[in-house]
């Protein structure tokens, strides 16, 4: 079978021509790069990548195939997938299929055989760019025009596309087509805390880590109201990760404001960190090209320890705005000095910008789930 052609066009007029994988079609979105060396299956199924075309900087992707256990949601969410080369060989005893077959089953448009170093350098120098990935329209002028018309990430509410439809116990996981393998049996004897998780696009491993910390988790849609959560008298609330501009998720922000008024213990992760900050009154801004990868160094200011973290976000909390709202920065990114965590000084609320549940990535930050448990203990 002859190789199919695909093209990736950017809004600045740059066009990359490569080899098509997966399904035929056309997708658009913000083009970002991810610096993780592995974990592509978790990247593909992370709801936070809704609206984005993901470029992997690791030159060889797909060698260990795909399995049924390493997914982070019930489907793939990326708009498109880009690599220097997708492996044609699958070598892992856990693999159930190769990456190209997975692309086809999930309806993903993918491209390889392009210069991903040049693409990554362009995004680092020029900042985030909109793009169109196509196997059907191969005219450069047409594709660039389409890329220029792609809506910018700022102002976009993408949470409404990935959130749960109804509130359910975590083991019935809502919009999933596959139930998380590690969460089929709930050991109720180990559940010390009742936790509500507001699903803005949650990764399954967040739920797994909460359960391992002794939590019985109920997942709620992002549009849940504070009154609905407060009447259930939960020990704590977790705000999940998710895609898009946090300022556009006004319904969740209003919910968090109501929870804060009642001194509800809150733990925010990634988008949840930004939403907590906005609800408290802090400012959030768009990063030049975002943080996406599994190797970002973050300093915990209280202990002076450096954690290697998994990250996926395009916005950040303005550290200078924290003092005025009675909060403080707890973690700092050592690459660019941005705020990676906050804690309120008088309310039982804290959050981090990165992913302590990893998946993919190192486990350096999993202590934060124990910190959430300790916060709930202190409020009981």
The string of pLDDT tens digits covering residues 255-284 is 999 999 999 999 999 999 999 999 999 999
Model confidence pLDDT, tens digit, residues 338-361 = 999 999 999 999 999 999 999 999
Q: For residues 112-134, give the mean pLDDT.
A: 97
Flag whether 97 is in a domain.
yes
Is 308 found in the same domain as 228? yes
pLDDT over 80 at 156, yes or no: yes
Pairing assessment for the beta strands 26-34 and 129-134 based on DSSP bridges? antiparallel
Is 347 found in the same domain as 255? yes
pLDDT over 70 at 180, yes or no: no
pLDDT over 90 at 335, yes or no: yes
| Domain total of the chain | 2
Q: For residues 215-232, give the mean pLDDT.
A: 97
pLDDT over 80 at 3, yes or no: yes
Is 305 found in the same domain as 216? yes
pLDDT over 80 at 247, yes or no: yes
Q: For residues 104-117, give the mean pLDDT.
A: 98
Flag whether 292 is in a domain.
yes
- CATH number, domain of 327, equals 3.40.50.880
- Beta-bridged to residue 60, according to DSSP, are 85
Is 170 found in the same domain as 112? no
Q: For residues 97-113, give the mean pLDDT.
A: 97
Is 238 found in the same domain as 291? yes
By annotation, the residues acting in catalysis are: 270, 355, 357
pLDDT for 380 equals 78
pLDDT for 245 equals 98
Is 302 found in the same domain as 282? yes
Flag whether 153 is in a domain.
no
pLDDT for 40 equals 97
Flag whether 84 is in a domain.
yes
- pLDDT class of 379 with cuts at 50, 70, 90: confident
pLDDT over 50 at 184, yes or no: no
Flag whether 154 is in a domain.
no
- Going from the C-alpha of 102 to that of each of 3, 28, 34, 108, the distances in angstroms are 18, 20, 20, 8
- pLDDT class of 189 with cuts at 50, 70, 90: low
Is 347 found in the same domain as 221? yes
Is 105 found in the same domain as 171? no
pLDDT for 2 equals 60
pLDDT over 50 at 182, yes or no: no
Residues 193, 185: Cα–Cα separation, whole Å = 17
Flag whether 116 is in a domain.
yes
- Going from the C-alpha of 153 to that of each of 129, 254, 286, 290, 312, the distances in angstroms are 10, 21, 9, 12, 14
Model confidence pLDDT, tens digit, residues 301-319 = 999 999 999 999 999 999 9
Last residue of a domain, one of 103, 122, 148: 148
* Two tokens, residue 16: 């990359």
Is 368 found in the same domain as 243? yes
pLDDT over 90 at 370, yes or no: yes
Residue holding tokens 């077959």? Answer: 101
- pLDDT class of 220 with cuts at 50, 70, 90: very high
- CATH number, domain of 130, equals 3.50.30.20
Is 118 found in the same domain as 242? no
Is 285 found in the same domain as 175? yes
Preceding peptide of 35 cis, ω within 30°: no
Neighbouring CB atoms inside 10 A of 371's CB total: 15
Model confidence pLDDT, tens digit, residues 29-76 = 999 999 999 999 999 999 999 999 999 999 999 999 999 999 999 999
Residues 105, 87: Cα–Cα separation, whole Å = 17
Three-state secondary structure readout of the chain: CCCCEEEEEECCCCEEEEEEEECCCEEEEEEEEECCCCCHHHHHCCHHHCCEEEEECCCEECCCCECCCCCCCCCCCCCEEECCEECCCCCCCCCCECHHHHHHHHCCEEEECCCHHHHHHHHHHHCCEEEEEECCCCCHHHHHHHHHCCCCCCCCCCHHHHCCCCCEEHHHCCCCCCCCHHHCCCCHHHCCEEEEEEECCCCHHHHHHHHHCCEEEEEEECCCCHHHHHCCCCCEEEECCCCCCHHHCHHHHHHHHHHHHCCCCEEEECHHHHHHHHHHCCCEEEEEEEEEEEEEEEEECCCCEEEEEEEEEEEEECHHHCHHHCEEEEEEECCCCCEEEEEECCCCEEEECCECCCCCCCCCCCHHHHHHHHHHHHHC
Is 165 found in the same domain as 118? no
Yes or no: say if 359 and 42 are a contact pair by the CB < 8 Å rule.
Answer: yes
pLDDT for 186 equals 52
Yes or no: say if 264 and 229 are a contact pair by the CB < 8 Å rule.
Answer: yes
- Beta-bridged to residue 342, according to DSSP, are 329, 351
Last residue of a domain, one of 103, 129, 148: 148
Range of the domain at 207: 159-379
For the chain, give the mean pLDDT. Answer: 94
Neighbouring CB atoms inside 10 A of 64's CB total: 18
Last residue of a domain, one of 109, 124, 148: 148
pLDDT for 105 equals 97
Count of positions (residues) in the chain: 380
């Amino acid at each position: 079978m002859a190789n199919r052609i695909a093209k990736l066009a950017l809004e600045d007029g740059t066009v990359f021509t490569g080899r098509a994988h997966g399904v035929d079609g056309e997708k658009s979105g913000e083009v970002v790069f991810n610096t993780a060396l592995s974990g592509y299956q978790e990247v593909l199924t992370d709801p936070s990548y809704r609206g984005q075309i993901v470029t992997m900087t690791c030159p060889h992707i797909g060698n260990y195939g795909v399995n049924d256990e390493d997914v982070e949601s019930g489907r793939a969410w990326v708009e498109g997938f880009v690599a220097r080369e997708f492996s044609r060989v699958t070598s892992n005893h856990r693999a159930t299929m190769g990456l190209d077959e997975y692309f086809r089953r999930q309806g993903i448009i993918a491209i390889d055989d392009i210069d991903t170093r040049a693409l990554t350098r362009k995004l680092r120098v020029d900042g985030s760019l909109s793009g169109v990935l196509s196997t059907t329209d191969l005219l450069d002028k047409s594709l660039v025009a389409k890329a220029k018309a792609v809506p910018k990430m700022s102002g976009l509410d993408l949470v409404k596309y990935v959130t749960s439809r109804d509130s359910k116990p975590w083991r019935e996981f809502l919009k999933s087509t596959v139930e998380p393998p590690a969460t089929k049996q709930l050991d109720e004897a180990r559940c010390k805390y009742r936790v509500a998780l507001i699903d803005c696009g949650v990764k399954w491993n967040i739920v797994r880590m909460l359960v391992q910390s002794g939590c019985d988790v109920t997942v709620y849609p992002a549009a849940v109201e504070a009154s609905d959560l407060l009447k259930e008298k939960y020990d704590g609330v977790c705000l999940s990760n998710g895609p898009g501009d946090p300022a556009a998720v006004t319904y969740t922000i209003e919910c968090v404001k109501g929870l804060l008024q009642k001194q509800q213990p809150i733990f925010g992760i990634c988008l949840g960190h930004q939403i907590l900050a906005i609800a408290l009154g802090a400012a959030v801004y768009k990063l030049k090209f975002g943080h996406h990868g599994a190797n970002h160094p973050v300093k915990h200011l209280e202990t002076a320890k450096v954690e290697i973290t998994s990250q996926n976000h395009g916005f950040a909390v303005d550290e200078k705005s924290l003092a005025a709202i009675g909060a403080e920065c707890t973690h700092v990114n050592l690459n660019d000095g941005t705020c990676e965590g906050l804690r309120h000084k008088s309310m039982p609320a804290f959050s981090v910008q990165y992913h302590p549940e990893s998946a993919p990535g190192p486990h350096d930050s999993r202590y934060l789930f124990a910190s959430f448990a300790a916060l709930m203990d202190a409020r009981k």
